[in-house]
Copies of this chain bind each other. A is one copy, B any other.
Amino acid sequence: MPNFKLTIEYDGTDFCGWQIQRANERTVQAEIKKALEKIVKHPVTVIGAGRTDSGVHALGQVAHVRLSSSITPFVLLKALNANLPEDIAILGVKKVSDVFHAQFSARSKIYRYTILNRESRCAKERKFCLHIRQPIDIPMLTKAARVFIGRHDFRAFRGSATSQKRRDKSKTTVRTVNKIVLRRRKDFIFCDIEANGFLYKMVRNIVGTLLDVSAGRIRPKDLKAIMASGDRRKAGKTAAAHGLCLYKVNY
């Protein structure tokens, strides 16, 4: 069965995340599965590069699907976009080798967290950014964020105990962060984090901790000890889901 790589954009606002959950919850994976099965008329398993939480968006989620169909990538792209709800768009379809696996073949993933940093709210981007009124010192935070770069045990930055039990089956909590880039464009701040993998809620906990550093609630020099403690309660708040976006998956 030919293997297809799908590149997917979604507005996560009205989804209970990526992963199929209970039957009455709307998820991106379930919508794509439904559309595919309507097109190819056989059961399809949709494997994503990673789960995104409820309310989190994607500009570059990737999935792979095996279809017993002679459909071409271009026709599949058109058929999917015609059959999916408007808050999911398929950006690309590519035939890939049999060994390609959306999750296991991924070298790294980039998440983008977007902050609107000014006094007034915005209307157009309101569902895609967190509004922070207090000035944010980018050079200071960039320096503070260096503590996360490299191979570390990120146990202190994973989801809390309850959510862990439900979601995080990872045996190891060691991950390698390649890059954290903070950049201002007009009144928006983008925080791009690239890693070989992420623990449940890891990006939102890192961003929340950096925002606590920005607000003076955590001292930059304490970050190392917080990481070493492995204690979630010592790290900062979890930043809101709607500011987060799965930006790109590298293979």
Contact = CB atoms under 8 A, between A and B. Distances in A.
B9 A86 contact: no
Contact of A86 (B59, B87, B119, B121): B121
A57 interface: yes
Contacts of A121: 81, 86, 89-90
Interface stretch (A123-131, A156-164, A176-184): A123-131
Nearest to A118: B91
Contacts of A91: 120, 122
Contacts of A78: 119
Contact of A123 (B11, B92, B120, B122): B11
Contacts of A77: 119-120
A111 interface: no
A60 B83 CA distance: 36
Interface string A25-68: 00000000000000000000000000000000101000000000
A113 to B, nearest CB: 15
A67 to B, nearest CB: 18
Nearest to A91: B120
Contact of A126 (B57, B86, B128): B86
Q: Which of A78, A92, A122 has the most CB of B within 10 A?
A: A122
A88 interface: yes
Contact of A124 (B11, B92, B120, B123): B11
B123 A87 contact: yes
A89 B91 CA distance: 31
20 contacts: A9-B122, A9-B123, A10-B123, A11-B123, A11-B124, A11-B126, A74-B119, A77-B119, A77-B120, A81-B120, A86-B121, A87-B123, A87-B126, A88-B123, A89-B126, A90-B120, A90-B121, A91-B120, A91-B122, A92-B120
